[in-house]
Amino acid sequence: MLKNYTLTNIGQLMGILPKETMLLKGEEMGHINALHNAFVEVVDGKIHAYGIMDNCPETDQQIVNMHGDWLMPGFVDSHTHMVFASSRHNEYVMRLQGKTYEDIAAEGGGILNSAKKLQAMDADTLYKKALKYAEEAIAGGTLALEIKSGYGLSVEAELKMLRVVKRLKNELPISIKATFLGAHAFPAEYKSNHQGYIDLIINEMLPVIAKEHLADYIDVFCDKGFFSVEETTQILTAAAALGLQPKIHGNELGLTGGVQTAVDNNALSVDHLEHLSDVEINYLLNSNTMPVILPGSSFFLKIPYAPGRRMIDAGLPVCVASDFNPGSSPHHNLWFTWSLACLYNGLLPAEAFNALTINGAYALGLSETHGSIAVGKNACFIQTRAFESINEIPYWFAQSHAKKVWY
- Residues within the interface to ligand NIG (CB under 6 A): 110-111, 114, 221, 249, 252, 297, 323, 325-328
Q: Which is nearer to Fe ion, 216 or 323 (CB)?
A: 323
Residue span 300-329 as binding mask against Fe ion, x where in contact by CB under 5 A, dash where not: -----------------------x------
Q: Select from 224, 330, 316 the least CA-distant residue to 275.
A: 224
Q: Which is nearer to ligand NIG, 24 or 126 (CB)?
A: 126
Nearest distance, CB of residue 248 and Fe ion, angstroms = 10
Instruction: In whole angstroms, give the CA distance from residue 12 to residue 375.
Output: 17
Q: Which is nearer to Fe ion, 50 or 300 (CB)?
A: 300
324: which DSSP letter? Answer: B
Q: Which is nearer to Fe ion, 24 or 218 (CB)?
A: 218
Task: List phi, psi (to 5°) of 119.
Answer: -60, -30
Strand partners, 65: 8
Binding partner selected for residue 142 from Fe ion, ligand NIG, none, CB under the kind-specific 5 to 8 Å limit: none
Q: Which is nearer to Fe ion, 146 or 280 (CB)?
A: 146
Nearest distance, CB of residue 215 and ligand NIG, angstroms = 17
Nearest distance, CB of residue 120 and ligand NIG, angstroms = 16
Write b or e for each residue in 72-100: b if 16 or more Cβ atoms lie within 10 A of its Cβ, otherwise e.
Answer: bbbbbbbbbbbbbbeebeebeebbeeeee
CB-based contact 256:249 (threshold 8 Å): no
What is the number of other CB atoms lying within 10 angstroms of the CB of residue 282?
12
Q: Which is nearer to ligand NIG, 35 or 185 (CB)?
A: 185
Instruction: In whole angstroms, give the CA distance from residue 25 to residue 311.
Output: 9
Give the DSSP H or E segment for 296. helix 295-301
Nearest distance, CB of residue 190 and Fe ion, angstroms = 21
Nearest distance, CB of residue 179 and Fe ion, angstroms = 10
Instruction: In whole angstroms, give the CA distance from residue 307 to residue 296.
Output: 14
Helix, strand or coil for residue 286?
A: coil
Instruction: In whole angstroms, give the CA distance from residue 368 to residue 23.
Output: 11
Name 187's Cβ contacts closer than 8 Å, sequence gap at least 6: 112, 115, 153, 154, 197
Binding partner selected for residue 73 from Fe ion, ligand NIG, none, CB under the kind-specific 5 to 8 Å limit: none
Binding partner selected for residue 221 from ligand NIG, Fe ion, none, CB under the kind-specific 5 to 8 Å limit: ligand NIG
Nearest distance, CB of residue 380 and ligand NIG, angstroms = 25
Binding partner selected for residue 290 from ligand NIG, Fe ion, none, CB under the kind-specific 5 to 8 Å limit: none
Contact call for residue 252 and Fe ion (CB under 5 A): no
Contacting positions for Fe ion (CB under 5 A): 323
